[in-house]
Amino acid sequence: MIFRMGAALMSLLGVFVSAYLYLYKIGRIGTLACGSGSCETVQASPWSRFAGVEVALIGVVGYAVLFAVALLALQPPLAARRWPADLLTALAALGVLFTAYLTWLELFIIHAVCRWCVGSAAIIVSVLVLALLARRGAPEPRAT
């Protein structure tokens, strides 16, 4: 239960971090609190879009989905079931893979590392770890 709660809380943080980056990207927030120009470099690069969609927006939607699944997994009928934890793990793993790709772009193509992206990477990894722990604590599926 506690791990599912943790995953929900971290996903919610991810929603806010991504929303912050997205609001900057669409010009609603002037400057990023970054400490260096690296965040702007990353945001201004062609790789700030993926398949024509702002990466930050993908983050907002992705974390919102994770948050919704984690919340659902806490509800009494589902709290004792394992499959919500499995779904959470699968979605978080997908997020980690996407984050790994974005981090590779930052390090080897854009040559700038945005601290907010590092923060988001830490969040998605923590969601995956919590989801895995939630999966371990959940009862095995019953044989039919």
Partner 1 sequence: MAESAGGLKRFYIILGVVVVGGLGVLGYLLSKPATVSIPANVTIQPSDTAGFRGYIKGSDSAPVEITEYADYQCPFCQTFATLQMPTIEERLVKTGRLRWRYRDFPLQQHPFARLAAHSAACAEEQGKYWPQHDRIYEGQSEWASASDAAGIFRRYAGEIGLDLGRYDACMSSGKYAGRIQASYEEGVRAGVTSTPTLLVGGRLYQGRFDSDAIGRLVDSLAPRTASTQ
By CB under 8 A, name the binding residues for partner 1. 1-2, 5, 8-9, 12-13, 15-16, 19-20, 23-31, 37-38, 40-41, 43-46, 74, 79, 109-112
Residue 46 or 52 with smaller CB distance to partner 1: 46
Residue 45 or 103 with smaller CB distance to partner 1: 45
Task: Report how far apart, in Å, the C-alpha atoms of 103 and of each of 22, 72, 135 are.
Answer: 17, 30, 27
**3-state SS, residue 11:** helix
Contacts of 3 (CB under 8 A, 6+ apart): 130, 131, 133, 134, 137
Residue 65 or 94 with smaller CB distance to partner 1: 65
Residue 46 or 139 with smaller CB distance to partner 1: 46
Closest distance of CB 144 from partner 1, Å: 27
Structure tokens at 5: 């709660």
Whether the CB-CB separation of 21 and 116 falls below 8 Å is answered with yes
Helix-helix angle 115-137:2-25, to 10 degrees: 160
Closest distance of CB 71 from partner 1, Å: 8
Closest distance of CB 23 from partner 1, Å: 7
Closest distance of CB 104 from partner 1, Å: 14
